[in-house]
Every structure is written in structure tokens, then in C-alpha cells.
Structure 1
Amino acid sequence: MAKLKRYYEEGAVYFVTTTTHNRTPIFNDEETCNMLIEVILQKKESLDFDVYGFVIMPDHVHVMIQPQGTKNLSEIIGQIKGLFSKQYKERKNTTQQIWQKRFYDYGIRNLKSAKQSLDYIHKNPLEEGLKLALKYSSYSYYYQGDESFKRLLTPLT
């Protein structure tokens, strides 16, 4: 079977969902969530991309991302997942597989669609009653003036 090619449009914003291997809920503590945030920040600086919104759920992550530099979406997500896996395995002293191999994405075509995607990201932890996921979301930045993720986020206007 031929490997599917990912469509990539230069300058596009993407809504990305990536899931943990076998939906294992690894993002159930602040240390692990902070580790992922730090990895995304590190890769944002080295790979040049913008993040408009995100939420870290127990077994998956949603992020709105726009590549700005020479790296495409697959390279960016691959490097984030790779570095996080390495650090997680070292800290937790495990050899388990961390992520499912692929990720889901769709291109956001206009501001209305971007706002709908951001709304979905922010409602996801509210609907499931997940306080930790709500804390590790762009929700507090957009709706409560919390600047904890100011270095990570580019405001959606």
C-alpha cells in the first residue's frame, strides 16, 4: 500500500490533532503538560511557526499552528513529538511508545473557520470537565487575560 502524502499549503494555518499511543492518558499531571509546553516553545523558536491556540487533553493534543519558515507541518509536528518522546522516556524511565504514528490535520481557510476551531479547542476540556486540560489550554489567555502562555501564543485577530 502506498504511503499517503500530506497536502501542504505555504502560509496556511492548520488545526492539528495528535493522539497518544493506544490513547494512553499520559497528560494527567502538570509535569508532563509543562514538558510538552516547553518542547513546543523550544521548537517554535528553532523552526519558526506560530501557535494560535491549543489544549492538552489526557490522551491527545489539539493545536492551531502556522508554519512560517522553511519547515512544513509534518516536519514541525514530527520534531515536537520526537523531542517530547525522548524527554518523557528519560524522565519517566520508560521505553513505551508515546504517540500514534500519524496525526490528523485540516487547513483553515478563513478567519471564521479559525475562530470556530479555536472555539472547539476551548470547549473540549469544558465539555469533559477536565480542570487540568483547561489549565493547559489557550482558553485562559483569550478569555481570562492570563499571560502564562504569552511566549507560546500568537493572538488570533
Structure 2
Amino acid sequence: MGKDARFSSNRLRAGRWSGEGQIYLITTVTKHRRPVFQDLFAARELIRVIRSDEARGSHRMLAFVVMPDHLHWLLELRNGSLSQLVGRVKSISAKRIGGRVWQDGFHDRALRKEEDILATARYVVANPLRAGLVERIGDYPHWDAVWL
């Protein structure tokens, strides 16, 4: 095996660890960073898919924001693997929206117990402010957060 083969994205994804009860911050982007979710239907459809999967018991949604070209999602994994969950949500949402929506893969960060989950949730929902899309969080329609 060549030295670069050890670091291929498939190998890294295969080695990803998922823990039920673990809290993760997920970021995934659209193909070619296209602003797919500027479209109201597309953004709301993605949110419906996330909520539907939560109702099936796969995860507990803590916070999310659907940006024009990416998703930030803070969740507690409840059932199955993280890769299965994200893959399923991306696949179902792409079928409902139409076309090749998502870039392959996703970025995840497991939050440690000592990390401030509330601060991370605030970071997630403040994305539209930092991006200059709105002046107040309440003016952006595609986010949600629950009290922990």
C-alpha cells in the first residue's frame, strides 16, 4: 500500500466510530457548494427528513441550521451508526428535492462531556448572522434548537 493510500477518504469513513448516546456536530455541504437551500421547498424538505428520522428513533435533534449550501446539525445518536444516519438523510432528501444535492461525505465532531453543548447549539443557530444573511436569528426561517 502506498503511503497516501492509508489516508484515503473511504478508509477514514470506514474507521469512523459511532457511539449511541454520543453528541455530534455534523456539517455536510451541497455538491459544488450550490445554494440548493435558498429554495424554500428544498430547505423545508430537508428539515422534514431530519424530523422524520428523529421520530423513527435514530437520533435526538439538539439544534440545526440549513444554510444555502450546507447543513450544521447537532444531535445525540440514539440508534444505528452516524454514517448510516447522515447517509440516509442525505439520500432521502436528495430523492425528494431532485438531482444530485450533496457532496460525498460529511464532517463530524464528537462533543466531549466537558464541552458546552449549549454554546455549540448557539454557534450552530447563529450561522446565518455570521454569514450576513439576517440581522436577527429569528429572521432566518431554517433553524431549530431544543432546550437541553
Q: How does the TM-score come out when normalised to structure 1?
A: 0.78
Correspondence for 2:101 among 98, 102, 109: 98
> 1:15, 1:65 within 8 Å by CA — same for their partners in 2?
yes
Correspondence for 2:41 among 24, 27, 31: 31
Return the letter of the residue paired with 1:86.
Answer: K
Return the letter of the residue paired with 1:88.
Answer: I
Return the letter of the residue paired with 1:59.
Answer: D
Partner of 1:14: 24
Partner of 1:137: 143
How far apart are residue 154 of structure 1 and its match? Answer: 4.4
How far apart are residue 10 of structure 1 and its match? Answer: 2.9
> 1:53, 1:63 within 8 Å by CA — same for their partners in 2?
yes
How far apart are residue 9 of structure 1 and its match? Answer: 2.6
Distance 2:78 2:58 in 1: 5
Provide, for residues 124-148 of structure 1, a one-character-per-residue CA deviation record: whole Å limited to 9, x for no partner. 101222249821112xxxxxxxxxx
Which SS does the other structure have where 1:121 is aligned?
helix
Correspondence for 1:83 among 92, 96, 111: 92
> 2:61, 2:74 within 8 Å by CA — same for their partners in 1?
yes
Which SS does the other structure have where 2:56 is aligned?
helix
Q: Could you list the runs of 5+ residues in structure 2 that have no partner in the other structure?
A: none
Q: Which runs of 4+ in 1 moved over 6 A?
A: none
Does residue 48 (structure 1) correspond to residue 58 (structure 2)? The answer is yes
| Segment drifting more, 7-16 vs 58-67 | 7-16
Which SS does the other structure have where 1:106 is aligned?
strand
| Residues 154 and 115 of structure 1, relative CA distance in 2, 3 Å threshold | closer
Distance 1:111 1:41 in 2: 27
> 2:58, 2:85 within 8 Å by CA — same for their partners in 1?
no
Q: Could you list the runs of 5+ residues in structure 1 that have no partner in the other structure?
A: 90-94, 139-152
Distance 2:66 2:112 in 1: 24
Count of residues in Structure 1 that have an aligned counterpart in Structure 2: 135
Which SS does the other structure have where 1:115 is aligned?
helix
Question: How high is the sequence identity, in percent, across the aligned residues?
Answer: 30
How far apart are residue 98 of structure 1 and its match? Answer: 1.1
Does residue 120 (structure 1) correspond to residue 123 (structure 2)? The answer is yes
How far apart are residue 118 of structure 1 and its match? Answer: 0.9
Return the letter of the residue paired with 1:99.
Answer: W
Distance 1:48 1:155 in 2: 19
